[in-house]
Amino acid sequence: MANGIGLEDPELSALVTIQLGVVSATQAVSCGLSRETMRRRVLRGLWQRMTPGVYALQSGPPSRMQWLIAAQLYAGEDSVLTGRSALRVYGVEIRGLEVAGRRVGAPDLHALVPHRTRRRNLERLRITRTTRVPQPARIGVLRVAPLARSVLDCCLAAVEDGDVATVDEIVTAAFADGRVQLAELEYELGLAPRRHSARLRTELARSKAHARAVATRALLERLRVSGPRGAQYEVSVFLNRTLLAQAAAVWPRRAVVVVVDAAESEIRSLSLLGFAVVHVTARRVEQDLAGVLRDVGGVLADRPEATLPAGVSLFPSARAHSAGAASEPAGRAQRVLTASSPARTGISSLLPLGGTGQT
């Protein structure tokens, strides 16, 4: 009995070693072990059946890693671990998720399989059939979905289990880990089915709004201290009575606007009106604020004086007015540009030149 478990075949013995004492019936049969032999060993307590067709070659309780391997073997060669399973492998621990999972009786293992694959859910294993099985990351013997996809699937599974409150904790833990970005989650969510995704969409929108507010505040602090003169900060840009965009800063006499994490529709509308739009992401502000300031200075320095069509107005945003940061009283709209020749703003000496205006 090789290795004390009766594995005379070297190939099977090596496979069992790699898989930490877990083997599928298919693997064992291909190496010459009969199904009757496997059945007898289970009856004698030498082996234990973990999932249909997957065995732990031991009498004691399997480890978490052994359960992950068993889930992968049961789900099949084209499967990918995701959700709670993958987050464990990545080392993203969500304490409340474990408690909530036990409370609602949710499976703690989760695998994605191609839509054509016939596998059923088990007590501990959730099987999700999908047409979007991702290219896996390989961590040891495990095939694991990318982290952003794993977070998404974890959230969707929590909603499916009726544990909506845990979504916030999952997203917060993912961002705190630092290896997954908001844009990645938004991309994955855009491809996901809308079923069970409403709460996650709300949570990501809240996270994005928070990140945008933090970045805008950091940018404005620097602009107010050392930025080009002639700016209006935290401005709502209107065309007649239609709100076009919320801008972090506007230089009316240069028709330059700075927006943070703006929608494509906002950027397009501002550009069509003649604005030079400096669009920055919250992450860029966090990582390279000096570079953002250089870009703004470069666009302003290269921008000729301009006049925009009638009907374009600036109003202080509600938050800016409440903080006393706006340059004009609330309720008093200022026409952005008139036909008269605007005065020079003297911006070239305040920020270094360079940048493209699109970051």
Q: Confirm if 316 and 326 have CB atoms less than 8 A apart.
A: yes
pLDDT of residue 98: 59
Mean pLDDT of 325-350: 36
Which pLDDT score is estimated for 312? 87
Output the pLDDT for position 86: 95
Q: Calculate what percentage of the chain has a pLDDT beyond 70.
A: 81
pLDDT at 42: 94
Please, are residues 333 and 357 in contact by the beta-carbon 8 Å criterion?
no
Please determine, for residue 111, whether its predicted confidence score (pLDDT) is greater than 70.
Answer: yes
Average pLDDT over residues 33-61: 94
Band of residue 66 on the pLDDT scale cut at 50, 70, 90: very high
Per-residue model confidence (pLDDT) at position 333:
41
pLDDT at 189: 85
- Residue 319, pLDDT score: 54
Q: How far is CA 291 from the centre of its chain?
A: 24
pLDDT in tens, 285-308: 988 999 999 999 999 988 888 776
pLDDT score of 172 more than 90: no
Question: In degrees to the nearest 10, what's the CA dihedral of 329, 256, 242, 194?
Answer: -120
Whether pLDDT at 121 is above 70? yes
CATH 1.10.10, the chain: domain bounds: 2-62
The class that CATH gives domain 2-62 is mainly alpha
Q: Decide if 12 contacts 33 (C-beta within 8 A).
A: yes
Position 338 pLDDT exceeds 50: no
Q: In this predicted model, which residue has the larger pLDDT, 202 or 313?
A: 313
Question: Which of 62-66, 111-115, 199-203 is least confident?
Answer: 199-203
Q: DSSP alpha helices (H): ranges in the chain? A: 10-18, 25-30, 35-43, 64-75, 83-90, 95-104, 147-160, 166-177, 182-191, 198-226, 264-272, 282-287, 289-302, 318-323
The residues pairing with 189 across neighbouring beta strands, listed in sequence order, are none
Max mean pLDDT among 80-89, 97-106, 171-180 falls in 80-89
pTM as predicted: 0.62
Examine the pLDDT at 183 and tell me if it is beyond 60.
Answer: yes
Higher pLDDT, 211 or 354: 211
**Statement: residue 347 has pLDDT above 90:** no
Residue at token pair 């909603």:
159
pLDDT score at 3: 43
Average pLDDT along the chain:
81
- 321 vs 97 pLDDT, higher one: 97
- Residue 178 in this model has a pLDDT that exceeds 80: yes
Would you say residue 352 has pLDDT above 50? Answer: no
pLDDT at 53 over 90: yes
First CA to last CA distance, the chain: 65
pLDDT value at 161 more than 90: no
Q: What pLDDT was estimated at residue 22?
A: 97
